[in-house]
Each structure stands twice: as C-alpha cells, then as structure tokens.
Structure 1
Amino acid sequence: MASYPLSHLILLLLPVFAFYFNHITAKHAHTTTSIHHHHHKNNHLKAKSNNRLEQAYIALQAWKRVIYSDPFNFTSNWNGLSVCNYTGIYCTQHPNDTTTQVVAGVDLNHGDMAGFLPNELGLLTDLALLHLNSNRFCGILPKTMSNLTQLFELDISNNRFVGPFPYVLLSLPSLKYLDIRFNEFEGILPPQLFNKNLDAIFLNNNRFTSVIPSNLGTSTASVVVFANNRLGGCLPPSIAKFANTLEELLLINTSITGCLPTEVGFLYKLKVLDVSFNQIVGSIPYSIAGLAHLELLNLGHNMMSGIVPEGICVLPSLNNFTFSYNFFCEEEGICTNLTSKGIVFDDRRNCLPEKPFQRSKRECDAVEKQPVDCFEHICGIKSNTTSAVTFHHIPLPSTSPP
C-alpha cells in the first residue's frame, strides 16, 4: 500500500453544513481544510446557551472521562460549556436557524489517544464529520451512533476497534465516506453495506473473512479497498454493475481465487486495479484492453498464465503495469518493451523466453501441463463436475505483500 498513498482518495466536502444536504462536489481531496475554515469563520459568533450545545457538552465530557491517555493534550481545554472552543471540535450555524450554533465536526486525527467511545457519543446528533484516524481507541462502536443521522464522513482508521463489522453504521442515512481500515474488525462483510449510497469504502487491514458479497456491484462507490483481509472466493461477475461509478479497486492480499471475470473490462471509469498477492489463475481478460482510463494495473504475485495482450500495453492512460510472479509465457508486440512507452513495468518471475529473472523450466512446464480454461470454470469449480479444481499445485512465492 505504501506505493499508492490513499490521501488523494479522501473527499472534498462543501463547507460543513452544506454537506448535510448536498452531494459531493469534488472527490479524493482532504476535507479538513474546509471544515477548519468554517470553524474559524464562525468562531467569533457569540456562544449562547442552547439545547444542542448542552447535549454536546454532556457527550464530550463523558468522552473525556474515558480517554485514558492523551499525550498531545488534545482534551486539556475540554472544560466549561463553550464546547466550540474545545480543541478538535468544530461548530457552525444550524441550517434552519442561523442564530444557533451546533457541533458539526470532530477531528482528533493523529492524537495518539487511548480510550473508547461512550454511549453519550449519540448525543452529537448534528455531527457531520467524525475523524479519529491514528489513535488508540478500542472496543466496539456504541449502538447509540445510530442517532448520528447527519453523519456524512466517518474515519476511524488506524485504531484498535474490535468485533464484527459495526452494523450500526448501516443505519446512518447520510453517510457517504466510510474508512474503518487498520483495525481489528472480523467476520463476514454484510451484503447490506454495498446497498448503501456510499462514495468511498475503505475496509483494508482488518480480519474480515468469508467471501466478497455477490451484490458488490450494486454499490455506488468510486473507491473500494478490500486489501489485506481473508475474504477468499472469486471476484463476482456482478461487479459489472459498478461500471457507472467505480474508479479505484484494490484487492491486494485478499485470498481471491479463480479467474478474473470478463466483466472487469466493463468498468469503463476504472483508473486503478490492483489484485496482487492473491491466487488468481487463468489468462488476462482481453476486455481490460477497453479500459481507456486505466492508469495502474497490478496483477503481480498470482498464478496467472498465457499471453500478455498488446491491447493492454497500448492503453492510452496506462503508466504502471505489474505482472511479475505469475506464469505468463508470451508478451505481445510493444509489451516486450514497455520502457519505450514510458510505462513503469515489472515482468520478473514469469516464463518469458529470453527475459532475465524468470522462473525455472520445471515450474513453467508444470503449469503448461495443467492449463486453466476460464470459460470452463466458474469460480474455481469445473462446470461439468461438482469437485473443486486444485489450483495450488505450485507454491506461491514467500514474498509478503506491502
């Protein structure tokens, strides 16, 4: 993941309360700048007692009591009723009452704080943005978060939250941006997640298991990151339904098997496709040659074989193509010299004649004797039998994913 920083994927929101009721205006830019600006713009407004700020005071004081470590003193000024002056707390005018201030954002990113989220968090009913990235919060998410009906963006990544997927998040009607990566969530991914009107879904580096839900393609997201989980199964053909929105799909090290479905080539907006460090077999679907916007394609560290088609190597936007640690036996046309096109590529550890750093003849012969026909297999199962096909007769490289 270090090669592909995810900071450019974060959504740019309208000033705080605009994103209560409007759609995203520009994707993949950091949100904190806009909410900070709005906070300082309204900071001069005279604070006045109102029920919403009183409820926020109760919530924040309860939260402060269960923050057991605060090395950067984020909460040192969380005292008194003027919650809009608390570090990391951002207020703005209520959209229906410009004389009333409400807490619209909490940004405690990189605070290295330890504690948990109290039930009183559900009192912050005007919250549109909750950023808790890079702390040591633990435990499970409180069910009272279902009260955060205005929550638009949630980032609880890089913490120590545990338990099954937090189903309470499925009840949030305004949520567009979900980032729960780098935690300890486990178990199955609920199919309902992909029925929600989300724009970005970051699930990577947890302990999710089972399979990728078959309704994956019903999502409206432009960015989906599953990397470093143990989902298994195949990439479902229903992914074709993702065509109108999906721009980036990262499935690094998710234990995917079977062939890449032809339907991947239907994702005409796709810019990034990374399925490296899996157990994918078969050939490269030629349909990928139709992805005119594709900039990065990483097929590395799988068990794919056959020909690297020239149609992919001449894609107009392609600038990075990795297919190392597979069993490809031929590169068509310009694919033999991608450097001439200025494309960064890696073709090591394949079965390419006269290319350096390739596999041994023994390894290549073993695959050649047991070719995989993706038209005769459906998700690793032969269409004319009920027995599973064994694809793992050759050990995968010991190299670990990034």
Structure 2
Amino acid sequence: MNKCMGECLISRIPFLLAILFLASAFSGDHGIAGVTASNIRHSHRRHLLSDYQFANPHLKDAYIALQALKHAIISDPYNMTASWVGPDVCNYNRVFCAPAPYDPYLTVVASIDLNHGDIAGYLPEELGLLVDLSVLHINSNRFCCTLPSKFDQLKLLHELDLSNNKLSGKFPEVLLRLPSLKYLDIRYNEFEGSVPKELFDLPLDAIFINSNRFKFEIPDNIGNSPVSVIVLANNKFSGCLPSGIANMSNTLNEIILMNNGLNSCIPSEFGLLKSLTVLDLSLNNLAGPLPDQFGSLEKIEVLNLAHNRITGSTPDSICSLPKLKDLNLSYNYLTSESSSCLHLSSYADELNCIQGRPHQKSEGECKAALSNQVNCDSFKCKKCPSEVSPEDRYLSPPPPPTSEVSPEDRYLSPPPPPLVIPVWTYGSPPPPSQ
C-alpha cells in the first residue's frame, strides 16, 4: 500500500467504522454473513436507481459515476459537491451537460470542473462510465493515488487537467489510450519513473508534465509531437538535448526544459523552430557555444539560457532579433557579448566571464573552466540528417494545425497564462508549502 492510499484510508476511518457497525448489526440480528461495506454501498445504489427516472441511459451512468466520486471524497471544504443529490445530474454544481456530439437530441454530461476546491480523495473506477465527457478539470485539489484503469473509456475526452494534486505512481499509461485528447496537464504531482515515448506520438496540442519526479532521457521521437506548448521542467531527465525537436518547427510556440539535468551542447537545429516564442533551457548542464542559428528565431520573445556552462560570445544576430524582450544568459562562462544586447528591455549577463561588465565570475574560476575546450561530439548525441534540406526533413508531411482558431480561444477553458520570467512561475501555482 502506498503512502497516498494509506492517507486516504486513514481519513476515511470514521466512515468505515460506521459501515462495519452496520454490517455487524445486520450479521447479529438477521444472520446475514459476509456483509461488507462494498455490498451495502452497492445495495444502497441499486435501491436509489430503482426509485429514480433518467432521461437516457447516459445520464444514469453519469449519476453512478458522480455518486462514486462523491463517496471517494473525504474532504470538500468549499462544499463543491454538496448539491450532488438526486438523479438530476445536469443541475449538479460544477457539472455541465450538453447535446452529445454524435446525437443532438441526446443530453449527456460533457464537462466537470472542480478546480481550486482543495478537495481530498481519490478517483474511482466508475469515472469510466462518463463516456461522453469532453472536459475534466480537477486542478489544485488533494486527489491522491493514481488514475483508474477505466479512464480509457473516455473516448471523447478533449481536455484533462489533473495538475496540482497528490497523484502518484508511474506515468499513467491509460492516458495513451484517449484518442480525442488534445490538452494534457499533470504537472505538480508526484508521478515518477520513465515517461513512455509513445506520449510524443499522440496528436496533442499541449503537454504539461513539469514538476513531477520523472526520470528518463528525452526520446528522439519528441520531434513527432504536433504540440504548440510543451513543458517538461523540474524533473530528473538526463542525456542530450535532442536535435529532433527541430522537426516541430511548424507547430511549436513554447518549450520549457529548465532544471532537468540535460547534458550536451545546444543543437544548431534549434534555429529551425521558426514559430518559437518562448525557449527556456535554464538550470541544466548545457555546454559549448551559442549556435549562430539562434539568430533565425524571428518570433522569439523570451530566451532563458541561465545556469549552464555556455562559453564563447553572444552573437549580435541573437540580441538583434526583432521580437526578443527577455534574454537571460547569467551564470554561464561567456567571454564577450554584442553591444545590442544591452538595449533589450530585460537582459541578464551576471556571473559570466565578460571583461568590463559588473558582477562577473572571478578570474581564477573563469580560467579553470575555460582551460578545457568543450568537444560537442564527446556527448555522442544523435543528430538530424544533414544531407537533406529542412523542407524535406520529414519522413511524412507534418501534422496540420489542430484548429483554425487563435491559441487564446483554442480551449474550452482558458489555457495557462503566458510564460514569463521567472521561469518557475509558469501556469498554475505550485502546491502551497506544507
């Protein structure tokens, strides 16, 4: 039994004791042996279902699923589920019904939003009955344990936000079996282990898996992903920064790889990411010079390369980029910079080895670090084929845009706010310190 499940059960002790009392009473008074809490709960559910009328079987299944979720909740301080009584699930607080996409005359539960409820509990298997669900948002709560295996029944699920909870265990591979999923957010949880490379073959538009305990090397097939936003920060990755990311040039707008233990040079292929507006590679172990190809990132607004081992000079082509606003090169081993960098609205170059600039590393520290020239080939990273042009690099045509609408209107609920420095404040806030 993991720690999370133990906490859930401990919190349910009063409820379980009451059930056991009832069970013993039945056994003593009526001679009914083997009565369990589960038997009583299901018997009670069958009794209620026999009394209720539902407009269609889908709403009946939704009632069963929502009642199971309510009983799996051990603390609801804002009473978000207090109205979850009776068969009219479309009038439940934070539950939204709509016509089914395959039948305009069939009303179904399409969305559930329990965000910011500080709710404690777990996610029961009965949630798999919500086969018409398109949106499930339960961020900023205290749901524990892992995802139910029956989640793979949610074939219409488009958005899933489980961020800022206490979910744990290995990466929930049930998420790989959701054919309609476009927006996946499991950041700020306690998932651990490897991330299956199949995640990057899915037709997702946004991936947020940051601030967990994942530990693996970023696979070469990351370039297969058609996402516009991907945040992998604050995990325990290792190995190379893969040059295959360049294959995402038609779709990728924002990528955050900070604080992951990446150990390589920065591939020149990153200069092919023409649509990129935010790039954060800070707090890694990246070495070698800044690629001149970074000067091709004409849409870049935020570029954070702080806290690495980057050497050489800052090319003028980078600091002259037309939309660049925030450039952070601090805590590296750069020896010179373009004067155009000093005119940026936000620029940081402290603790490098640039003569004449304030707050630099000591001469001894710079000499020791720069005496050993970095050989980027020594990292033995895989490279994109160099014989083909960028236009012909794809083995198959790149995926089309996921929609014709602007990024701001893409989701049924607002996407995370724009990514800005400081980089650890992206999206929803981290869980409050205990």
TM range (shorter): 0.7 to 0.9
One-letter code aligned to 1:293 = K
**Counterpart residue number, 1:27:** none
**Counterpart residue number, 1:387:** none
The structure that has the greater radius of gyration is: 2
One-letter code aligned to 2:247 = K
**Counterpart residue number, 1:140:** 146
Q: How far off its partner does 1:238 sit?
A: 1.0
357, 360, 366: which one aligns with 2:359: 357
TM value normalised by structure 1: 0.81
281, 285, 290: which one aligns with 1:279: 285
Q: How far off its partner does 1:115 sit?
A: 0.4
Kindly indicate whether the alpha-carbon contact (under 8 Å) linking 1:206 and 1:228 is maintained by their aligned counterparts in 2.
Answer: yes
**In the comparison of the two structures, how many residue pairs are matched?**
333
61, 82, 85: which one aligns with 2:91: 85
**Counterpart residue number, 1:20:** none
Q: 1:236 to 1:96 in 2, by over 3 A?
A: closer
Q: How does 1:231-380 map to 2 (within 5 A)?
A: 231-335=237-341, 337-338=342-343, 342-374=344-376, 377-379=379-381
Q: How far off its partner does 1:48 sit?
A: 5.5
2:156 is the counterpart of 1:150: yes
Q: How far off its partner does 1:401 sit?
A: 6.7
Q: How far off its partner does 1:60 sit?
A: 0.4
Q: 1:367 to 1:87 in 2, by over 3 A?
A: same
One-letter code aligned to 1:331 = E
Q: How far off its partner does 1:79 sit?
A: 0.3
CA distance in 2, matches of 1:132, 1:332: 47
CA distance in 2, matches of 1:245, 1:220: 6
One-letter code aligned to 2:376 = C
DSSP-derived class of the 1:201 partner = strand
**Counterpart residue number, 1:117:** 123
| Structure with more helix by fraction | 2
CA-based RMSD of the aligned residues comes to 1.6
2:199 is the counterpart of 1:197: no
Q: 1:279 to 1:96 in 2, by over 3 A?
A: closer
Kindly indicate whether the alpha-carbon contact (under 8 Å) linking 2:73 and 2:120 is maintained by their aligned counterparts in 1.
Answer: yes
2:75 is the counterpart of 1:69: yes
DSSP-derived class of the 1:364 partner = helix
CA distance in 2, matches of 1:75, 1:118: 15
Q: How far off its partner does 1:225 sit?
A: 0.3
Kindly indicate whether the alpha-carbon contact (under 8 Å) linking 2:54 and 2:87 is maintained by their aligned counterparts in 1.
Answer: no
* Residue range with higher mean Cα deviation, 105-114 or 90-99: 90-99
Unmatched runs of 5 consecutive residues or more in structure 2: 1-52, 383-422, 426-434
One-letter code aligned to 1:298 = N
Q: How far off its partner does 1:94 sit?
A: 1.9
One-letter code aligned to 1:261 = P
Kindly indicate whether the alpha-carbon contact (under 8 Å) linking 2:70 and 2:81 is maintained by their aligned counterparts in 1.
Answer: yes
**Counterpart residue number, 2:413:** none
Kindly indicate whether the alpha-carbon contact (under 8 Å) linking 1:130 and 1:154 is maintained by their aligned counterparts in 2.
Answer: yes
Kindly indicate whether the alpha-carbon contact (under 8 Å) linking 1:253 and 1:401 is maintained by their aligned counterparts in 2.
Answer: no
Kindly indicate whether the alpha-carbon contact (under 8 Å) linking 1:283 and 1:374 is maintained by their aligned counterparts in 2.
Answer: no
DSSP-derived class of the 1:99 partner = strand
Q: How far off its partner does 1:332 sit?
A: 2.5
Q: How far off its partner does 1:368 sit?
A: 1.9
166, 173, 188: which one aligns with 1:167: 173
Q: How far off its partner does 1:370 sit?
A: 0.5
CA distance in 1, matches of 2:345, 2:65: 53
CA distance in 1, matches of 2:104, 2:194: 44
Kindly indicate whether the alpha-carbon contact (under 8 Å) linking 2:100 and 2:108 is maintained by their aligned counterparts in 1.
Answer: yes
CA distance in 2, matches of 1:131, 1:182: 14
Q: How far off its partner does 1:254 sit?
A: 0.6
Kindly indicate whether the alpha-carbon contact (under 8 Å) linking 2:54 and 2:60 is maintained by their aligned counterparts in 1.
Answer: no
Kindly indicate whether the alpha-carbon contact (under 8 Å) linking 2:84 and 2:92 is maintained by their aligned counterparts in 1.
Answer: yes
* Percent of aligned positions that are identical: 49
TM value normalised by structure 2: 0.75
**Counterpart residue number, 2:107:** 101
97, 114, 127: which one aligns with 2:133: 127
Kindly indicate whether the alpha-carbon contact (under 8 Å) linking 2:240 and 2:379 is maintained by their aligned counterparts in 1.
Answer: no
Kindly indicate whether the alpha-carbon contact (under 8 Å) linking 1:286 and 1:311 is maintained by their aligned counterparts in 2.
Answer: yes
Unmatched runs of 5 consecutive residues or more in structure 1: 1-46, 381-399
Kindly indicate whether the alpha-carbon contact (under 8 Å) linking 1:257 and 1:379 is maintained by their aligned counterparts in 2.
Answer: no
